[in-house]
């Protein structure tokens, strides 16, 4: 029994052991199946990732032959390789890279390589080779879009740079936060006379004078805060030599490569401000012109009667007597008063000089010599003998010369010399502001006196502005106005304690007229009947007596209506007037401008001479266009009236 039990127990133990072995085998089988399943899932996941990876991937063996690849190559439009193909056949590098050699080198050395922007047909590719024990993995990324975007950005930057460099204005780009200048163009270098590499890195406020720095930063801060665009006026920039240049700034806030910037376009407005000053000066001249013209007209009428009566008085007494000398002195004073009214007449609104074609060589020497008579200052002349003729009012140009010489003399109280030079020049269009292109005679008056302060330069041509203890402040204003009325330009350059240069530009004559010369003054006697129309009784009396003394028969009327009636009666009676001398302006009555039209209707052959105290009136300058055949500006000397009548009767 005991043996049976022992056998049974042994059998049970064997069964139990067998069961445990079976269970262990079953467990191992489950683990294997699970492992196989996990491996299969991992392989499927790897395959899915490999096949669907947008990055082209090719696997090669140690010899560089393809063992696998994904479908991304197909998306890139490239041919699909065959397993066993050599990989080097699939690439052609624009950089002449021997891809196969590089591939083998990576496999042998267990290294890696990266090739950027490999050109494949019309594509740009980034290629990376990573080796492993069995070969290498080659990944390829299409960077065509990125490359084209970079090229587009580079082209855009080049266009931006070209635009900046070709701009006519200076451009400064500053970091919005630090206000440090990070970019400029070459015009900025020209504006400041500072090299570009020195400008970059400067603080924005350093561009401006010290008294404007706070204002400048405040204005730009407003643009920064408001992110706006606008124009800033009233600021200047400092050149390397310390000179300040007025500028107008167009400011804007923007971004450059993600950095907030302030861009300022700086325009040099020096010439524009000069033109505005010229316009303001012209406005000032015009404002006093109305008053000056009226006063000068009335004064000239008085001087006409005064000069005429003095001349007649001199003829009635002995030339060696004391009375004669007194009259001669009074005549000189009257002629000096005439010069003063001529200055006032220069400001008359709408006036024009009475021009004749002339050479100014003798005029410059005579006028300057007369102005410096008895002075410690002398003139040096550098005048071309081949100067082109010009059309000028000789009296007015003589006045300009006189005024500029006197101004230079006052600048050298201890004596010195004035250099007068004249030459022919040809200007291009826009070469000098306010002057058209063409031929000009350039005249310079240079002294070596005290000079003019910079802040006074812009005011030297203003009426009544003067820095001298003596002087009316009309001399330079008169000269400026006269040259402007001749379609020329008067400019000034000066430096303290060095001297001043006044430069005159006058257009050369283009009509080919013969140059007229000044003849010796004398009385021209004649015969004939002269009708005088003037509203001033003193002038009528003086003119009548003068004409009688010259051999003429004179009749006087006070306005155009009376003159027209007198002329009609004489014409109808068969005893017509040979010449009519008419005042241009008659307050409250018919003046010469209206009367000449009616006289021409009555007698188309009428010979009329216009005479007016408004010597700069357009009728005086272009008298023939209005029907007159001669002109005598008031106040006139007897010699001038006699010459005008002689010429009219002899040549018309």
CA distances from 140 to 112, 124, 137 (A): 14, 10, 10
Sign of the Cα pseudo-torsion (185, 189, 195, 198, in order): negative
Are 631 and 608 within 8 A, CB to CB? no
- Most confident region among 129-133, 313-317, 352-356, 546-550 by mean pLDDT: 546-550
| Mean pLDDT, range 603-608, rounded to an integer | 93
Which pLDDT band, with edges at 50, 70 and 90, does 576 fall under?
Answer: very high
For residue range 123-144, what is the model confidence (pLDDT) as tens digits? Answer: 777 778 888 888 888 887 777 7
Is the pLDDT confidence value at 505 over 50? yes
Percent of the chain clearing pLDDT 90 (strictly above): 17
For residue range 396-410, what is the model confidence (pLDDT) as tens digits? Answer: 888 889 889 988 888
Is the pLDDT confidence value at 461 over 60? yes
Residue 507 neighbours by CB under 8 Å, 6+ apart: 390, 391, 438, 439, 440, 486, 487, 488
- Residue with token string 């303001």: 280
For residue 639, give both structure tokens.
Answer: 């010699």
DSSP code of 211? Answer: G
For residue 254, give both structure tokens.
Answer: 């923007």
- Most confident region among 339-348, 355-364, 436-445, 520-529 by mean pLDDT: 436-445
Which pLDDT band, with edges at 50, 70 and 90, does 349 fall under?
Answer: very low
pTM: 0.43
Is the pLDDT confidence value at 330 over 50? yes
Write b or e for each residue in 348-362: b if 16 or more Cβ atoms lie within 10 A of its Cβ, otherwise e.
beebbbbbbebbbee
Are 613 and 591 within 8 A, CB to CB? no
Q: For residues 412 and 403, what is the distance between their CA atoms, to the nearest angstrom? A: 15
Q: Mean pLDDT for the chain?
A: 79
* Predicted pLDDT at 229: 59
* Predicted pLDDT at 57: 81
Is the pLDDT confidence value at 88 over 60? no
CA distances from 8 to 14, 16, 128, 254 (A): 10, 12, 72, 100
64-73, 112-121, 430-439, 443-452: which range is least confident on average?
Answer: 112-121
Are 346 and 478 within 8 A, CB to CB? yes
* Predicted pLDDT at 636: 82
Higher pLDDT, 273 or 47: 273
Q: Going by DSSP bridges, is the β-strand pair 112-120/66-69 parallel, antiparallel, or unpaired?
A: unpaired
Q: Going by DSSP bridges, is the β-strand pair 259-268/244-256 parallel, antiparallel, or unpaired?
A: antiparallel
Sign of the Cα pseudo-torsion (119, 122, 124, 128, in order): negative
Q: What is the 3-state secondary structure of 28-40? A: HHHHHHHHHHHHH
Is the pLDDT confidence value at 470 over 60? no
For residue 415, give both structure tokens.
Answer: 């004596």
**306 closest CA partner among 342, 333, 339:** 333
- Most confident region among 224-238, 330-344, 577-591 by mean pLDDT: 577-591
189-198, 433-442, 455-464: which range is least confident on average?
Answer: 455-464
Percent of the chain clearing pLDDT 70 (strictly above): 75
Is the pLDDT confidence value at 228 over 60? no
Is the pLDDT confidence value at 93 over 50? no
* Predicted pLDDT at 2: 53
Is the pLDDT confidence value at 581 over 90? yes
528: left (phi over 0), alpha (psi -120 to 50) or beta: left
Which pLDDT band, with edges at 50, 70 and 90, does 94 fall under?
Answer: very low
For residue range 247-258, what is the model confidence (pLDDT) as tens digits? Answer: 888 877 777 666
Relative orientation angle of helices 537-550 and 270-315, to the nearest 10 degrees: 60
Are 619 and 626 within 8 A, CB to CB? yes
Residue 566 neighbours by CB under 8 Å, 6+ apart: 531, 555, 557, 577
* Predicted pLDDT at 520: 38
Residue 184 neighbours by CB under 8 Å, 6+ apart: 170, 171, 172, 173, 196, 199, 200
Relative orientation angle of helices 394-411 and 361-371, to the nearest 10 degrees: 40
- Most confident region among 56-70, 279-293, 599-613 by mean pLDDT: 599-613
CA dihedral 529, 535, 541, 545 (to 10 degrees): -30
Q: For residues 81 and 68, what is the distance between their CA atoms, to the nearest angstrom? A: 9
Are 293 and 317 within 8 A, CB to CB? no
Q: DSSP readout, 250-278?
A: EEEEEEETTEEEEEEEEEE-HHHHHHHHH
Is the pLDDT confidence value at 644 over 80? yes
Higher pLDDT, 454 or 624: 624
Q: In the chain, what are the domains?
A: 52-143 (3.30.450.20), 167-268 (3.30.450.20), 360-507 (3.30.565.10), 529-651 (3.40.50.2300)
CA atoms within 13 A on the CB side of 351: 33
- Most confident region among 15-29, 193-207, 403-417, 567-581 by mean pLDDT: 567-581
Which pLDDT band, with edges at 50, 70 and 90, does 519 fall under?
Answer: very low
Higher pLDDT, 112 or 12: 112
**248 closest CA partner among 312, 330, 168:** 168
Which pLDDT band, with edges at 50, 70 and 90, does 101 fall under?
Answer: low
Contacts by residues 235-243 (CB-CB < 8 Å, ≥ 24 positions apart):
235/208, 236/208, 236/209, 236/212, 237/191, 237/192, 237/207, 237/208, 237/266, 238/192, 238/207, 238/208, 238/209, 239/191, 239/192, 239/193, 239/194, 240/192, 240/193, 240/194, 241/193
């Amino acid at each position: 029994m005991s043996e049976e039990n022992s056998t049974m127990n042994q059998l049970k133990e064997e069964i139990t052991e067998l069961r445990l072995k079976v269970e262990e085998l079953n467990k191992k089988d489950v683990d294997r199946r699970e492992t196989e399943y996990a491996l299969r899932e991992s392989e499927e996941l790897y395959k899915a990732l490999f096949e669907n990876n947008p990055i082209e991937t090719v696997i090669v063996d140690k010899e560089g032959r393809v063992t696998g690849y994904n479908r991304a190559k197909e998306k890139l439009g490239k041919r699909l390789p065959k397993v066993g193909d050599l990989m080097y056949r699939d690439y052609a590098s624009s950089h002449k890279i021997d891809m196969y050699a590089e591939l083998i080198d990576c496999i042998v050395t267990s290294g890696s390589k990266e090739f950027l922007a490999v050109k494949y047909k019309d594509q740009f590719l980034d290629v990376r080779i990573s080796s492993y024990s069995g070969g290498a993995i080659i990944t390829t990324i299409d960077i065509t879009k990125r490359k084209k975007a970079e090229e587009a950005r580079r082209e855009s930057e080049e266009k931006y740079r070209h635009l900046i460099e070709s701009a006519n204005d200076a451009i400064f780009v500053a970091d919005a936060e630090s206000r440090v200048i990070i970019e400029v163009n070459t015009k900025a270098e020209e504006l400041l006379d500072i090299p570009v590499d020195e400008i970059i890195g400067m603080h924005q406020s350093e561009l401006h004078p010290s008294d404007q720095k706070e204002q400048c930063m405040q204005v730009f801060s407003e643009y920064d805060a408001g992110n706006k665009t606008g124009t800033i006026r009233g600021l200047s920039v400092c050149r390397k030599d310390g000179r300040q240049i007025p500028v107008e700034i167009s400011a804007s806030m923007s971004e450059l490569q993600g950095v907030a910037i302030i861009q300022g376009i700086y325009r040099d407005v020096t010439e524009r401000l000069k033109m505005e000053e010229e316009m303001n000066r012209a406005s000032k001249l015009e404002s006093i012109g109305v008053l000056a013209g009226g006063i000068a007209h009335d004064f000239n009428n008085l001087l006409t009667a005064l000069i005429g009566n003095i001349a007649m008085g001199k003829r009635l007494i002995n030339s060696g007597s004391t009375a004669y000398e007194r009259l001669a002195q009074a005549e000189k004073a009257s002629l000096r008063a005439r010069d003063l009214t001529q200055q006032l007449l220069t400001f008359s609104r709408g006036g024009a000089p009475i021009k004749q074609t002339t050479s100014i060589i003798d005029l410059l020497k005579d006028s300057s010599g007369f102005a410096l008579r008895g002075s410690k200052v002398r003139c040096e002349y550098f005048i071309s003998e081949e100067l082109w003729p010009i059309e000028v009012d000789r009296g007015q140009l003589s006045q300009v010369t006189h005024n500029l010489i006197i101004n230079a003399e006052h600048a050298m109280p201890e004596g010195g010399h004035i250099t007068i030079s004249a030459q022919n020049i040809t200007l291009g269009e826009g070469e000098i502001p306010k002057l058209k292109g063409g031929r000009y005679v350039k005249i310079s008056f240079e002294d070596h006196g005290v000079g003019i302060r910079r802040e006074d330069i812009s005011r030297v041509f203003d009426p009544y502005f003067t820095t001298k203890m003596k002087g009316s402040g009309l001399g330079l204003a008169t000269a400026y106005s006269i040259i402007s009325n001749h379609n020329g330009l008067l400019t000034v350059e000066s430096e303290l304690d060095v001297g001043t240069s006044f430069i005159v530009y006058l257009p050369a004559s283009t009509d080919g007229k013969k140059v007229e010369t000044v003849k010796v003054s004398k009385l021209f006697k004649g015969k004939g009947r002269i009708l005088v129309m003037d509203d001033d009784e003193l002038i009528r009396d003086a003119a009548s007596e003068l004409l009688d003394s010259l051999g003429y028969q004179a009749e006087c009327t006070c306005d155009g209506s009376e003159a027209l009636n007198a002329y009609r009666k004489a014409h109808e009676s068969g005893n017509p007037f040979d010449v009519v001398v008419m005042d241009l302006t008659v307050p409250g009555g018919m003046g010469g401008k209206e009367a000449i039209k009616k006289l021409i209707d009555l007698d188309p052959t009428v010979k009329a001479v216009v005479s007016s105290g408004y010597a700069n009136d357009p009728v005086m300058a272009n008298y023939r266009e209005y029907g007159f055949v001669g002109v005598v500006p008031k106040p006139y000397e007897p010699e001038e009236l006699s010459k005008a009548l002689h010429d009219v009767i002899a040549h018309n």
